Amino acid sequence: MALRKAGVTDLESHYANRPEDLRALKARVIVRDVNDFTVEETGAPGKEAYLGPLDRLLPETDQTFVQWLVAFGRGDRFFRSEAHVKTADGIEIDTLFTAMLPSDLDGFSDIVVTSVDITGYKRAQARLSAAETDAAKSSRITTANALSASIAHEVNSPLAAILANGQAAQRLIRRGTPDIEEVSAALDDVVSQASRARDVVARITSCFSNAPGAFAAVDLVTVARSANLIVEAELRGLGAVVHLAAPDDLPSAWADVVQVQQVFVNLLLNAAQAMAQGSDRRDITVSMRAEQSWLVVVVSDSGPGVRLDKRGQIFAPFHSNRPGGMGMGLAICRNCIDAHGGDIWVDDATEGGAAFHFTLPRPNG
């Protein structure tokens, strides 16, 4: 409330730049009481297991607390979110978290919070999603096999004709008196069939190239948040915390939502994986700003960074420094940003680690 009086309207950006302040604030929230069902549901020995500072219960990677502050900063009266809570024996469970938002200082003296365990439901959904993914993968493999057979059939035919006519031209030239007209006809067929093979490859390439996307004016903050939700489970498993910093008056970007969302997903996962073996503080900061006719996005981490001699290679297809990595994530990012007429590059983050920058045009920019 003091920050609001001081003119701070974007609490998310404020605390993204001050992660230690956020951690300290969470430690000042005290759980005073829980009902008997909470104790029964979680198998705790008694209420004492939950009484005390909130940071003891919420994992470092949980985004609920900062989003609660953002909702309060907006003046919302009610907040609902998914939370990840540690039980008395240290097991992390998924819960549906709801709370009323105080409208004045007195309201903070007693806040009622509800938390429903949805761990089983989430696991069932994950199993269903995995089954659907397996089915889709099988379908893609079948389609790929059929497509490969079709491509092989189309390309093999002109290649066979090229080979036959090339060999015929060789035989004709080796004769004592070469028949120039027949040699010319054979070479004409070689050129014709080579052109046919080229056209086949061009058609295939066009199917998988960046066709014009569904460009529109989009809110990058919303896109970044949706990308964070898509990979939340993976980020949480890697112990990464995402902080979003953007001004209230950030203009829209002229972009394809799906492609830009894919860029955020890849950069967030790369940052989390880079920090997986690093320090206990695994902070990912996503900052945004406007510069003339462009929007600039920076995704920085506290990992080992990218060596200077590797920065020209990491955006190439199939280049990966991670065991088992396919090396396509950053190549896809570059492909998407190129389709927008923007640029993407990496340099050192301010406090160590890597900082990936990319630009997107503004509408009519």
Q: Which of 207, 304, 288, 278 is nearest to 249 (CA)?
A: 288
Same domain, 221 and 326: yes
Of 117, 139, 173, which residue is a domain's last?
117
Residues 131 and 75 in one domain: no
- Other CB atoms within 10 A of residue 282 CB: 23
Expressed as residue numbers, the domain containing 181 is 123-208
81-128 residue pLDDT tens:
887 777 767 788 888 888 888 888 888 788 888 888 898 888 888 888
**CATH number of the domain residue 293 falls in:** 3.30.565.10
The CATH number covering residue 157 comes to: 1.10.287
Pairing of strands 253-256, 241-245: unpaired
pLDDT band at 154 (very low <50, low <70, confident <90, very high): low
Indicate if 204 and 222 belong to the same structural domain: no
Residue ending a domain, choose from 85, 117, 149: 117
**Residues 29 and 89 placed together within one structural domain of the fold:** yes
Q: Could you read off the pLDDT of 232-261 as tens digits, one per residue?
A: 878 888 889 999 999 989 999 999 888 898
pLDDT at 204 over 60: no
What percentage of the chain reaches a pLDDT higher than 90?
Answer: 19
Please report which helix (H) or strand (E) contains residue 123, including its range.
Answer: helix 119-174
Q: Which of 117, 134, 159 is the last residue of a domain?
A: 117
Neighbours of 224 (CB within 10 A): 23
Q: Which residues of 126-149 are buried (b: 16+ CB within 10 A; e: fewer)?
A: eeeeeeeeeeeeeeeeeeeeeeee
pLDDT in the model for residue 200:
61
Asked if 118 and 138 count as a contact pair (C-beta separation under 8 A), the reply is: no
Domains: count for the chain: 3
Question: What single-letter amino acid sits at 280?
Answer: D
- In whole angstroms, what is the distance from residue 283 CA to residue 271 CA? 9
Whether 219 and 338 map to the same domain: the answer is yes
CA 339 to chain centroid = 18
CATH code, 77: 3.30.450
